[in-house]
Amino acid sequence: MREFIFTIDYERGVDPLMDVFIDYPETHSRTIACNVTNDGMWRLERVAGTEAALDRLDEVFDGPVQCTECIGTRDCDTEWHYKVIASEKGRRTVYSYRSEAGDCHSIPRLAIEHVGNGVLCETERRGSRCEWRLLLCSDEGVDDLFGALETELRPGLTVEFRQLGEPSYWTDESVTLAELPPEQQAAVEAAVEYGYYRTPRDVSLTDLAEKLDVSRSTLQYRLQRAEAWIVRSFVTRSMGPVDADESVAEGTRLRVGRSGV
């Protein structure tokens, strides 16, 4: 298995979806499930941001049909379905389906065309950048995919190839309490159960320690260690496995861009 990671930077005005993330830089989206075939793509995505940003995203998806995964200049006539399946203040979980029709050449379709079936995709959007992570069966066809991405690139977009190598993100991205030491796991679960993390708190640290029959200092230490691990794991997952200044696993990073008109 091989892991291919690249980013696409968008100038404002070249993509209505990315314009929302550019205008509202605190907005963030991440794919949590994706299925890609030659016929289309089904995706579940979690979006977080202000209500104003989320309303703007609704307008984009409810507007004229468009391909939000295409980077070329082709006229793309595709069937688009968009459904919010969970909504709370500042967050939404969105199901979307887009068919591959006519001359529509999305990034997932290009990947399947050049490297074959079995591709897993994940995206993360923030600011002007969309990061793509592809898990591939082998290196076969990757060079052709590089070339296709460069050929499809329209003015106003810049592609930066970040990593091609052994899978790392896909094996490290799951963050579960089971990976914590038992005493830290029990402390976190009890803290959640008794409302320690609610605002305002339902229980004090002292009272929670009494319920667990441990000293206050011991409970505080366990929670601090667990919280530090959870935060580090979350931030590492969000930032990706490769630092911006590091070289690609095989060769150096290649940045390809075309200026807008």
**What's the CA gap between 209 and 220, in Å, rounded?**
9
Residue 69 confidence (pLDDT) above 50: yes
**What average pLDDT does this structure show over 63-78?**
71
> Tell me, what's the pLDDT at 176?
58
Question: What is the pTM assigned to this prediction?
Answer: 0.69
Domain covering 177-235: architecture: Orthogonal Bundle (1.10)
Helix axes 205-212, 216-239, angle to 10 degrees: 110
- The confidence band for 63, taking pLDDT boundaries of 50, 70 and 90, is confident
CB distance 82 to 96 below 8 Å: yes
**What's the CA gap between 258 and 41, in Å, rounded?**
27
> Would residue 70 be called left, alpha or beta, if left means φ above 0 and alpha means ψ between -120 and 50 degrees?
beta
Give the residue carrying structure tokens 């990034």: 107
Residue 244 confidence (pLDDT) above 70: no
**What average pLDDT does this structure show over 221-245?**
70
b/e 139-172 (16+ beta carbons within 10 angstroms → b): eebbeebbebbeebbeebbbbbbbbbbebebeee
**Which residues, other chains included, contact 12 with Cβ-Cβ below 8 Å and sequence gap of 6+?**
19, 22, 23, 128
Give span(s): CATH 1.10.10, the chain: 177-235
Tell me what the pLDDT averaged over the chain comes to: 81
**What's the CA gap between 94 and 45, in Å, rounded?**
5
Residue 37 confidence (pLDDT) above 60: yes
pLDDT digits (tens, 9 = 90+) for 156-198: 999 888 888 887 766 555 555 666 788 888 899 999 999 999 9
Q: How much of the chain exceeds pLDDT 70, in percent?
A: 80
